[in-house]
Structure 1
């Protein structure tokens, strides 16, 4: 077996920060009241994380780049039949890639509609004043109903899949996302995770955070 660095530090930090932020958003939304202030703040944290992940998907480490886990129907079918090549088990598998893209899309929709939502009590998104009333109403309805259940459902499926692989198939998915390394039966490309890569991640994170902060400031403009 060969030890390969699969997940770089920026990818691992993104993963766990996103998980914590989503949990925080769900809790603050359910509690309501004054906690909605934190719900809005966490929404902007998620926005910054999503923006970072899009950028990192083009310039990040080998296994974090979109180009290395975008699979076609044939690759997915071969994976489901147990005929996938070994490299499809290193980073995101074809099935795992579908889960990742679905979660990113659902969270983007939820954040986007949240920015245009208005509960007509104490909470309104920073983009409300830029869209008409009909759009605000539709965004609010989606955000409070279908959107949240879509995110919760995908998160639940994601967690169940991890547990199945972790304990059913004896494939460690949690460990590599903590320390970055994965055991491979054959030599595989290692992701870059040196000081230069981490500084690049920090710069992009700062850029994404700045954009999210500016969006937040639109509500006070």
Structure 2
């Protein structure tokens, strides 16, 4: 006898805070690349966008601990053995490895977040030796600032562009070759999945918590930005 077809239903995978984080980060990264390339008066906007990205990244780390089920790191950061089984097609149905970020997608996400964090960190201490210095530049030596600036404006920027292109290529691959639209769920939050798939919590309690966390992250980055203004006043 043929085994019965699993009942499928609409499941909330990406909570609203995660979706807002994702698209805000996309817009900010585009803005950073554009303002960084053009330079001039747009460098001030480059700095501001960098601070927003810093706040978004800190929020994402916190949300990866307390957010909706499939936004939590515990749901998609897997051990090497699990990743290997996934690559061999031996994943167990109860693992739900394709609900949110699959194990390979998780590696891509972690690489992007890590590189963006490094870009923000190096930007905070960078010095273009013309008119712009990062707000934390005074806390590092000239040699360290030079090293950070070189990474931020050259290799780091190149690697970021490469990772973004790979990320987009993977989305296109899944759409064309596997018939999986990874963008649509990140817009409305839902996926068609087996009925036994646990959903992400996405009520107003979760959303208000996310708003409070993000406000705290913005305040923290605002304080960091103010350190540069204090230094400039002396």
Q: Same fold by TM-score, threshold 0.5 exceeded?
A: yes
For each residue in 1:166-212, what CA deviation from the matched residue of structure 2 results, as whole angstroms up to 9, or x when unmatched? 22210121111000001113421100000100000100010110011
Q: Distance in 2 between matches of 1:214 and 1:182?
A: 39
Q: Distance in 2 between matches of 1:167 and 1:3?
A: 22
Task: Identify the match of residue 170 of structure 1 among 179, 192, 197.
Answer: 179
* Larger-Rg structure: 2
**Correspondence 1:54-69 to 2 at 5 A:** 54-69=61-76
**Correspondence 1:30-69 to 2 at 5 A:** 30-69=37-76
Task: Identify the match of residue 182 of structure 1 among 183, 191, 194.
Answer: 191
Aligned length: 221
Runs of 4+ in 1 over 4 A off after TM superposition: none
**Correspondence 1:1-221 to 2 at 5 A:** 1-86=8-93, 87-221=96-230
Q: How big is the alpha-carbon RMSD for the aligned residues of Structure 1 and Structure 2?
A: 0.9
| Structure 1: gaps (5+ residues) | none
TM-score, normalization by structure 2 = 0.92
Q: Distance in 2 between matches of 1:171 and 1:75?
A: 22
Q: Distance in 2 between matches of 1:138 and 1:166?
A: 40
TM-score, normalization by structure 1 = 0.98
Q: Distance in 2 between matches of 1:164 and 1:77?
A: 20
Q: Distance in 2 between matches of 1:11 and 1:22?
A: 16
| Structure 2: gaps (5+ residues) | 1-7
For each residue in 1:32-74, what CA deviation from the matched residue of structure 2 results, as whole angstroms up to 9, or x when unmatched? 1111110000000100000100110111000011111111111
